[in-house]
């Protein structure tokens, strides 16, 4: 502490900064004692980079003692693995934020800021150190809390009025729902991307029902299902006599959706010549019926959906670039089911309950069924899962749906590494290590269910909360 105090006193401009004109003294000891209460590492250096002060937290984060830090130059600290900044030239112009791995093996996040006088001259540098390991642990715990207790997500669902159920425990889908809610309150055009069966239509309906147009019509147009020869007439309508068989005038789908929302499903399949007309409708809010020269006004919210890569189609000349950018105002991407495996079991249970009610039965999944469907990749996504569950409910003879009812491609083959859920006497003896892991996993699950908090569960299990987080990850406990 005395060495630090002397460093301040020897630097006249810094001394003036901390000088108390009322008491006519520099109460530096009191200042430094307060800085030692900081949980984050703090480091102060003069304009040449020589360290004047380091608090206790920096010792903990860096693994270096203050004696090894205070009084060191940037070159000396670089040699010791404790680098404040990469270049003094950079710091003299702008603040610097970097992440760095020290020689001790610790990763730190460093923010350095120059302190200047009224003339813009640098007086000193102040650096803030954060332990990336601690930040990552807090982030992991926060993410796991979202998986274990997702009341917030359920509250978010309730905002979407009477739309289809959102069954999800994954952070990715929570982000999708939050984005959907925000954009629903605007008039912005939305482009929903995702593989077939991920639920693009559900998101589009949600946007409509949560918007100011909820009382207006909602029209879904599948651009890939209507024959190209009929597409223009179906979209824009036609006048009597416009073509052979047009015995009377007819309004098109866009006109029928006036004051409401239109979902242009599979927009990537729309023919190029109609893409030009659609672009004009979006830009001018006007259209012409086939065989008419009279413009008609439209007031429509457009939502587009596709399972194709439109940007790649633009590069190949298969989709108009101007229409792509007009549609891609607010993009929403729905991740495939294989990228959010924590949603598989909740979705399967939802479909099971739905079909139990539909077919007036009370069937349940065997444990092996849950294991197999969770390990499957689901190329058909949620739609495929829904169909498989319904088929199993129909085909099951008793109240238990066992793995034999799963399609062959989903059913997993048992291997020697499979651990039975409850070892029985007649089965082969399993290694004690596996038995311990099984018991440990079950105990962790029970503790999390009982206490609803990772820190509280860790306290009762008498382990560090970071240790518990690692074990939750290890056993894939959600």
Does residue 468 lie within any of the structural domains? no
Q: What's the pLDDT tens digit per position in 290-348?
A: 888 889 999 999 999 999 999 999 999 999 999 999 999 999 999 999 988 888 888 89
- pLDDT band for position 454 (50/70/90)? confident
Mark whether 117 and 168 lie in a shared domain.
no
Does some domain include residue 260? yes
In a domain? residue 270: yes
Residue 472 has pLDDT above 60, yes or no: yes
3-state SS, residue 211: coil
d(CA 404, CA 368): 10
With a pLDDT cut of 90, the percent of the chain lying above it is: 31
Are 324 and 357 contained in the same domain? no
**Are 103 and 215 contained in the same domain?**
no
Q: Are residues 238 and 327 both part of a single domain? A: yes
Sign of the torsion formed by the C-alpha atoms of 169, 175, 176 and 179: positive
Alpha helices in 41-87 (DSSP H): 56-62, 66-69, 74-80
Are 96 and 129 within 8 A, CB to CB?
A: no
**315 located within any domain:** yes
Residues 268 and 374 both lie in one domain: no
Residue 447 lies in a domain: no
Domain of residue 22, CATH code:
3.30.450.20
Tokens of 121: 């001259």
Q: Considering the domain boundaries, does residue 424 fall inside one?
A: no
**478, part of any domain:** no
In DSSP terms, which residues pair with 125 in a beta bridge? 45, 114
111 and 18 together in one domain:
yes
Q: Are residues 209 and 304 in the same domain?
A: yes
Domain identity same for 197 and 115: no
| 241 and 353 share one domain | no
- Domain end call among 405, 433, 456: 405
**Is residue 393 pLDDT above 90, yes or no?**
yes
- 369 is written with which tokens? 């069924």
Number of domains in the chain: 3
**Which tokens hold the place of 448?**
């999390």
CATH of the domain at 352: 1.10.8.60
Per-residue pLDDT tens for 217-258? 999 999 988 888 888 888 998 888 777 777 888 888 999 999
Element (H, E) at 410: none
Residue 377 located in a structural domain: yes
pLDDT value of position 303: 96
Q: Map tokens 């569950």 to a residue.
A: 389
Give the structural domain span for 358.
339-405
Q: Would you call 425 exposed, middle or buried from its count of C-beta atoms within 10 A (0-12, 13-18, 19+)?
A: exposed
Give first-to-last CA distance, the chain, whole Å.
48
Does residue 389 sit in helix, strand or coil?
helix
pLDDT of residue 149: 45
Last residue of a domain, one of 312, 335, 358: 335
For residue range 280-292, what is the model confidence (pLDDT) as tens digits?
Answer: 999 999 988 988 8
Last residue of a domain, one of 405, 421, 452: 405
Single out the residue of 182, 175, 179, 177 nearest to residue 166, CA to CA.
177
Do 320 and 357 belong to one domain? no
Q: Do 304 and 346 reside in the same domain of the chain?
A: no
Q: What is the mean pLDDT of the chain?
A: 79
The verdict on 222 and 281 lying in the same domain is: yes
**Per-residue b/e over 22-35, b at no fewer than 16 CB within 10 Å?**
eeeebebeeebeee
* Contact status, residue 183 vs residue 325, Cβ threshold 8 Å: no
* Token pair for 56: 């206790």
pLDDT, residue 426, reads 40
Residue 136: in which H helix or E strand, if any? helix 132-148
Residue 312's CATH number: 3.40.50.300
Of the candidates 339, 270, 343, the residue with the CA atom closest to the CA atom of residue 304: 270
pLDDT attached to residue 138:
57
> What secondary structure letter does DSSP report for 338?
G
In the predicted structure, residue 194 carries a pLDDT above the cut 90: yes
């Amino acid at each position: 502490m005395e060495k630090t105090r002397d460093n301040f006193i020897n630097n006249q401009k810094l001394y003036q900064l901390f000088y108390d004109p009322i008491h006519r003294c520099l109460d530096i000891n009191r200042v430094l004692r307060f800085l030692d209460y900081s949980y984050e590492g703090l480091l102060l250096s003069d304009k040449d980079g020589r360290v004047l002060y380091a608090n206790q937290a920096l010792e903990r984060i860096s693994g270096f003692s203050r004696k090894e830090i205070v009084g060191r130059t940037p070159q000396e600290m670089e040699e010791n693995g404790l680098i404040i900044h990469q270049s003094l030239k950079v710091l003299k112009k702008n603040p610097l934020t970097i992440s760095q791995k020290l020689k001790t093996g610790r990763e730190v996040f460093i923010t350095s800021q120059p302190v200047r006088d009224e003339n813009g001259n640098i007086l000193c540098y102040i650096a803030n150190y954060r332990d990336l390991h601690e930040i990552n642990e807090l982030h992991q715990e926060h993410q796991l809390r979202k998986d274990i207790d997702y009341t917030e997500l359920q509250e978010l669902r309730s905002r979407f009025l009477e739309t289809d159920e959102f069954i999800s425990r994954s952070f990715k889908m929570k982000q999708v729902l939050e984005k959907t809610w925000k954009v629903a309150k605007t008039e912005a055009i939305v482009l929903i991307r995702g593989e077939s069966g991920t639920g693009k239509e559900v998101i589009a309906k949600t946007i409509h029902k949560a918007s100011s147009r909820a009382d207006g019509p909602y029209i879904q147009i599948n651009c890939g299902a209507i024959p190209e020869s009929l597409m223009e007439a179906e979209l824009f309508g036609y006048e009597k006599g416009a073509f052979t068989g047009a015995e009377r005038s007819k309004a098109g789908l866009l006109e029928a959706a006036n004051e409401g929302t239109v979902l242009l499903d599979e927009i990537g399949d729309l023919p190029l010549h109609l893409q030009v007309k659609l672009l004009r409708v979006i830009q001018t809010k006007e259209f012409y019926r086939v065989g008419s020269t009279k413009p008609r006004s439209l007031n429509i919210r457009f939502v587009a959906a596709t399972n194709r890569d439109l940007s790649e189609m633009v590069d190949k000349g298969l989709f108009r670039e101007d229409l792509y950018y007009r549609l891609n105002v607010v993009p929403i991407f729905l991740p495939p089911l294989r990228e959010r495996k924590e949603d598989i079991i909740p979705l399967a249970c939802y479909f099971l309950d739905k079909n139990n009610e539909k077919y007036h039965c009370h069937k349940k999944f065997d444990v092996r069924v849950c294991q197999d469907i969770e390990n499957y990749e689901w190329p058909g996504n949620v739609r495929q899962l829904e169909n498989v569950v319904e088929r199993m409910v129909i085909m099951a003879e008793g109240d238990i749906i066992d793995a034999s009812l799963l399609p062959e491609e989903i059913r997993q083959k048992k291997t020697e590494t499979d651990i039975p859920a409850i070892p029985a006497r007649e089965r082969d003896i399993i290694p004690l290590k596996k038995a311990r892991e099984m018991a440990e996993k079950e105990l962790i699950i029970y503790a999390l269910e009982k206490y609803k908090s990772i820190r509280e569960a860790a306290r009762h299990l008498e382990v560090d909360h970071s240790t518990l987080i690692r074990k939750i990850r290890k056993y894939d406990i959600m």
